[in-house]
Homo-oligomer: A and B are copies of this chain.
Amino acid sequence: MDEQTRDRDRLTDGLGDGAARHRPRDARETRARILRAAGAVFAERGFEAATVRDIAARAGVNQALIFRYFGSKKALLTEVMTEGGREQVSNTPPDRLFEAALRGVLAEGGDADTDRLLAVYLRSIGSADAAPETVRELGEEYAAALAALSSADDGELRAQLAMAWLLGIGLMRVVVGQEPLASAAPDDVVGHVLDALERLLPARDVSSGKMKPIDAGPR
């Protein structure tokens, strides 16, 4: 509330603002602010623990606006997940998707959208009816892209096993924070995982050439 008030004041006051200052009464900007704030809070606390009041405060916005723009807390979550979610799947070539996603998990701490999205996913899974369809669809898209890599007849199962590993690693690092995994070097983890997965997804390599193509992380 303190921060919210301060933010608001900074805006309503006509102080000469720099490049990226947003005008008051800009619906689009407000919507975007809410979405950004929601993503952050959902990622930090999980769906249930995150409160609409928190999100509103973080966005510097009255909480009633959230319901005007999105209707409900649940709808907000689906919006957050669908918005940035499909981008990575469709923008990354399938043969790099797994390693990219894995490195995204490992690069936690940066404010990358990808990391946030996965953190939201992981932290919101526990609550059964948070956004089951959305969550499952997103997972299915990943798995389908991965399944195309393998020529085995149970390629889908194999792909989902790989996905499961991804999720588990993310869970250990982001949510549980168990050492030494939590602070292990990304390259070490990627090396071990890709190595083991060559047995699971044998048709082509999991990455096109054993972790050379992607060098610095997903962004």
Which A residues are within 8 Å of any B CB, using their own CB? Answer: 45-49, 122-128, 132, 135-136, 139-140, 143, 154, 156-158, 160-161, 163-169, 171-172, 175-178, 180-181, 184, 188-189, 192-193, 195-200
27 cross-chain CB contacts under 8 A: A46-B126, A46-B127, A47-B126, A48-B48, A125-B175, A126-B126, A135-B176, A139-B178, A156-B180, A157-B180, A157-B184, A157-B189, A160-B181, A161-B181, A161-B193, A163-B168, A164-B169, A164-B171, A164-B181, A167-B168, A167-B171, A168-B169, A192-B200, A195-B200, A196-B199, A196-B200, A198-B199
| A164 CB contacts on chain B under 8 angstroms | 165, 168-169, 171-172, 181
| A167 CB contacts on chain B under 8 angstroms | 167-168, 171-172
- Give the CA-CA distance A187 to B176 in the complex, in Å: 29
Given contacts A48-B126, A125-B126, contact A172 B160 (CB under 8 A): yes
Number of copies: 2
- Give the CA-CA distance A169 to B176 in the complex, in Å: 16
